[in-house]
Amino acid sequence: MKSSISRKELIKKFRKLGFEGPFSGGKHQFMKRGERKIRIPNPHSSGEIHIGLLKEILSQAGIEPTEFENA
């Protein structure tokens, strides 16, 4: 897995994995698949999402890193 990923690439991969969005939320936008909602970093935050945050997002989404990489 790369050390970071762009927000645009994150959204693209989550859409391939069946998530819809992003939708506007309170402080963060979110994507959803069924009843599961995941918060995604704001577009105005730093350009890249680092590996630590990516792993946390994948854990919340119930997605294995290999599944994410293959999307």
Domain limits, the chain: 4-70
DSSP 8-70: HHHHHHHHHTT-EEEE--SSSEEEEETTEEEEE--TTS-SEEEHHHHHHHHHHHT--HHHHHH
Instruction: State the pLDDT at residue 52.
Output: 93
Q: Flag residues of the chain having pLDDT under 70.
A: 44-46
The pLDDT assigned to 1 comes to 72
CATH 3.30.70.1450 fits 4-70, yes or no: no
pLDDT of residue 46: 63
